Structure 1
Amino acid sequence: MSNYKLIYFDGRGFGKPARQLFHLAGVPFEDIRVSFEELMPGKQSESWLEMKEKMAFFTETPFGRLPVLTMDGFELAQSAAINRYLAKKFGYAGRDSEEEAWVDAIVDEFKDYMECLRPYIYGQRDGKSEEELKKIHDEVFVLVKNKFLNSVDKILKNNKSGYLVGNGLTWADLVVADHLHTLDNIKELDDVSWLNLKKYQEMIYSLPELKSHIYTRPKREM
């Protein structure tokens, strides 16, 4: 049996689907987590800064950052590459080339969407004033969020299977459902406008292979 190690921060982020894919496939792996709190502004401890310089898996990774997946001498970096690799290996990348292409398209659109949200996300982390954050929220966050969610809602309604692509679960569902969970946590997914998406997210999270993992993992909003 292959010996998998996933090295990532102790949060969800775009590396979360990798953990979920292992649980879906029932494949054991070593889940090596780096404390997320130590990265927040004003909370970096001397021990973390020293550890960051000394940790071999930072200095020796292909791009000098996380996540990294290792398996019996094979090493892979970058979240999307890791997620796609595991999805193909475990059967969650789509049933044929066309489905795989659509899965990739949805994930690429999600990444572009998240890039557009950077001013708001990093504004919170950088300690911008409430007034500044409200302006960014109203003028950027809400518009970008609604555009993306409308696209996802349309894809779901057109596909009719309950999943984003084809007739079964793919890693695109994991990416989108995790983000919907985040939006719900921060009160940005109301029942009136996004009831269909909330039901979709709840359906994904009710899958037996995921349920026990999701409700026992560390609770984080982002």
Structure 2
Amino acid sequence: MPFGQMPVLELKCGLQIPQSMAIARYLANKFGYAGKTPEEAALADALIDQFKDFYVEIKPYYYGKLGAIQNDTEAEKTKTLVPARDKFLGIIGKFLKQSSSGFLLSGGLTYADLMIVDNMRTLIGWWPEYLNGFPEIKAWYDKVDSIPEIQKHLASHPDVGF
């Protein structure tokens, strides 16, 4: 393990790629989900960076739901999750309005769509009303979630609760 911790993606050639975001960007580039142009790739990366900032903001709620810390998750939902959600989904909504593809970027599906929807699935599992009041975000979420390969993957992998 290059950094002494997981995750690590080991390639057939023996190269080990550490860190989740480095792995995600590598796979996005390899399989065509980084963005159609260098500019779209930069925007996909920026969306992921903003998404990571969102998760920093909701850490008290998220860690409480995972049981990693003891707190009142309902209070944290009101205090941290709702304002962070409103801010983040506002940003996502702007990208969707500017896009001609129905995905976050006009060039089509990117790893930003996939990662954000996948993580939203956890939040929706904890709070089914998470997307209430955001119909354009819900439509995008459903569009990504209904991709046949996504459905096949979800059907073959049990929900682990996070």
Partner of 2:50: 109
Matched, 1:75 2:13: no
Q: CA, structure 1 residues 154+75, in 2 after alignment: closer, same or farther (shift >3 Å)? A: same
> Could you tell me how far 1:188 is from its partner in structure 2?
4.7
The unaligned stretches of length 5 or more in structure 2 are: none
Q: CA, structure 1 residues 178+89, in 2 after alignment: closer, same or farther (shift >3 Å)? A: same
CA distance in 1, matches of 2:84, 2:2: 33
Out of 59, 70, 78, which is 1:128 matched to?
70
Partner of 1:93: 34
Larger radius of gyration between Structure 1 and Structure 2: 1
Matched, 1:65 2:10: no
Matched, 1:173 2:108: no
Asked whether the 8 Å contact 2:35–2:107 carries over to 1, the reply is: no
> Could you tell me how far 1:205 is from its partner in structure 2?
1.9
Partner of 2:148: 208
Judging by fraction of residues, say which structure has more strand. 1
Asked whether the 8 Å contact 1:183–1:189 carries over to 2, the reply is: no
CA distance in 2, matches of 1:108, 1:144: 14
CA distance in 1, matches of 2:69, 2:108: 42
CA distance in 2, matches of 1:94, 1:166: 9
Larger relative CO (CA 8 A, sep 6+): 1 or 2? 1
> Could you tell me how far 1:200 is from its partner in structure 2?
1.1
Out of 111, 126, 139, which is 1:186 matched to?
126
Asked whether the 8 Å contact 1:93–1:171 carries over to 2, the reply is: yes
CA distance in 2, matches of 1:200, 1:212: 19
> Could you tell me how far 1:87 is from its partner in structure 2?
0.8
The unaligned stretches of length 5 or more in structure 1 are: 1-60
CA distance in 2, matches of 1:71, 1:65: 17
The CA RMSD measured in Å over matched residues stands at 1.8
TM-score, scaled to structure 1: 0.66
Matched, 1:149 2:89: yes
Asked whether the 8 Å contact 1:94–1:166 carries over to 2, the reply is: no
CA distance in 1, matches of 2:69, 2:7: 26
| Count of aligned positions | 160
Identity of aligned residues (%): 37
* Local SS of the residue matching 1:215: helix
CA distance in 2, matches of 1:150, 1:221: 26
Amino acid in the other structure paired with 2:39: E
* Local SS of the residue matching 1:76: strand
Q: CA, structure 1 residues 175+189, in 2 after alignment: closer, same or farther (shift >3 Å)? A: farther
